Structure 1
Amino acid sequence: MGGCHDQVVLVGVVLLLSTVQCDVSCKGVDGQAGQPGAPGRDGWPGVKGEKGEPAVMPDGPVNPSVLLKLKGERGSLGPQGVMGPKGYRGDVGPSGKPGAPGIRGPDGKSIGHGQGSTNHEIYSAFSVIRTLKSYPPYDQTVKYQTIVVNQLGDFNQATGEFYCRIPGVYYFTFHSVAKVSMCLAIKSDALDLPLGFCDSNQRNTYDQVLSGGVVLELRNGEKVWLESFRDNQKDTDKQDSKDKQIIFNGFLVFSNPL
């Protein structure tokens, strides 16, 4: 009884579906696009990869010492840069240790002693003045009338010459004052040629000063003196009788060891 009822219902459904006709106007409306979903979370870091193989050259593995030799050629020198500012002065360092004492030098040698000297040092010096009004004769040693200084008596007033008794270095100088032209020369056994000095006074109305000097290294027995000589002087100059003076000086600068 129940089975027959089920069959009747199934037949009714089939008939209903077969009688219903669906045209184009009965299709459904297109749906709207859905909203994008939220971004997902970052994934976990991946596992570290394996170490790569070393580089190889055509003939085998790379040798680090070979790579150093393969550096390029040195480039040309660039231009010099601008000098930087001067740095600050550093602090003074600590004092060093005292050095070892030096070797004792040889004993000094005495070269004599002068009057009143207690330290065995001697000094040779002289200063003389010619006060005659006459013109000093040409090519003759100048003679002097006044002795200002003549320590140790090394200057001979009679000959007008300084006589060296203490070998060493000396300084000699002279000054003349006259109203006529004057030429004087320093002569010495230590000089190959005389040292001449001239001063021309054309008007002969005012005092003319002539000066000269020289440093000489003298040996024992060598002499130094002054001579007058002819240059451009007029004949009237030699006949002049006005006041004139010639001062001749010399002294030992330092002596040479014996």
Structure 2
Amino acid sequence: MEAGTELLQRDFWSTVGLTGSYEEVTMVTATLLTYLGLFVLPIFVIGAPSNEPLSIEPPVTSGDCKRCCDPEEPPSPTTEARTTAGYHPLPYLVPEVRPYINITILKGDKGERGDRGIHGKLGKEGPPGQRGPQGPKGNKGQMGIPGDPCKQHYGAFSVGRKKALHSSEYYQTLVFDTVFVNLYGHFNMFKGKFYCYVPGIYFFSLNIHTWNFKETYMHIMCNDQEKVILYAQPSDRSIMQSQSLMLELQENDEIWVRLYKRERENAIYSDDVDIYITFSGYLIKPNIEP
């Protein structure tokens, strides 16, 4: 077994790089161990360094005598250090005791209400609110006194025609050439139409003279609607024929006379001297509430 150990040691040192006999290697090893012990031994004797800070002793004055066997005492702090660092002679801090007073048990009864103060300044005006719902309609008031006669409303016209008229391929408007009454110019002579500017109830009448052996076929129109017809059958003698009616008109309504288009021999008579054809109308009652 000793022979095997010696063989292993030789292989180790040969690997490290040392060559020589086994005795030489053993001698070198012993020398190294000796030097290593010289360095390690003082560490165990003196001790490892500690992390505690080293205490620096204050210099001893000439007036203070101290024996070597006396225990060390920490230097007493100065007056300034006591003030700034909160020095306390005890080894621990004593907690500060503050008395606590329950104010609720000292609260008195509720006092009387004071006088009301003066009003403050008015604030800025806010935005207007939304419009409320419409209220119910009130009762009708009493009738007022009659107004100025100059401000009352009227409407009237009366016109005539001296020329005869025969039917054509289309409807024809009966145009008049003579004015008897045209109050405020409500009847347009160029168009042959009466325009309503004062709403209310009107009375109208149409008079014509028929032609011998010819048919008479006409309408009194309100806007584009046929209201009444004036008709006369063919005859060997001519006669006067008339038509009248009352209408309730609204503002801007149009009243005029229309001759029917040519399907039969249709005509109205006149001799360019006398007036055989007339058209009249006037306001009976305006639609103005009192």
| TM-score normalised by length of structure 2 | 0.44
| TM-score normalised by length of structure 1 | 0.49
**Structure (1/2) with the larger helix percentage:** 2
Larger radius of gyration: 2
